[in-house]
Amino acid sequence: MEACMARIGLVAHDDKKDDLCAWAERHRHKLVQHELWGTGTTGSRVMAATGLTVQLLKSGPLGGDQQLGAMICEGRLDVLIFFIDPLSAQPHDVDVKALTRLATLYDVPLANNRSTADAVLAAV
C-alpha cells in the first residue's frame, strides 16, 4: 500500500460525469486513501455516488477549472483526473484548455479517460 497521500483533482464534463462516478466507485478503496478535490458539480456527484469526501471548488464554468489550475501552479495538486467530453463544445473551453495546459506544463499526471485514469491511479 502506498504510504503517501496524493492530492487528486476530479473533474468531468456533463456527459462524462456518470463515467467518472462509476470509475470513482470502482476505485473507492484506493481513492479513500487520498485527498480529493473537485469542481463543484463533479465533486458533489462523486461524493453522492461514493460517500467519499471531496473538497469542493467552484463549478468549472464559474472558475473551478481555474482554481485547479492555480493549485497546480502552486504545487498543491499531484494528479488531475479530468474526463473530457470530446463530442460537445464547452462554453468555457478557454478554461478547459488553460487547465490542461498547466497540467502539461507542470508535469502533473493528467488522465482524460478511464483507461488512463486506471493507470495513473495504480501509480500513486
Ligand X SMILES: O=C(CO)COP(=O)(O)O
Interface with ligand X (CB under 6 A), residue from 7, 13, 27, 34? 13
* Chain residue whose CB lies nearest ligand X: 60
C-alpha pair distances (Å), 53 with each of 35, 71, 73, 85, 95: 8, 18, 24, 24, 25
Smaller CB distance to ligand X: residue 42 or 78?
42
Place of cell 469542481: 39
In the range 45-84, which residues lie near ligand X by CB under 6 A?
A: 59-61, 64-65
Q: Dihedral of CA 43/121/99/96: which sign?
A: negative
Q: Is 60 a known ligand-binding residue?
A: yes
39 binds ligand X per the rule CB under 6 A: yes
Q: Find out whether 45 and 17 touch, Cβ atoms under 8 Å.
A: yes
Is 13 annotated as ligand-binding?
Answer: yes
Judged by the rule CB under 6 A, the positions of this chain that interact with ligand X are: 11, 13, 39-42, 59-61, 64-65, 96
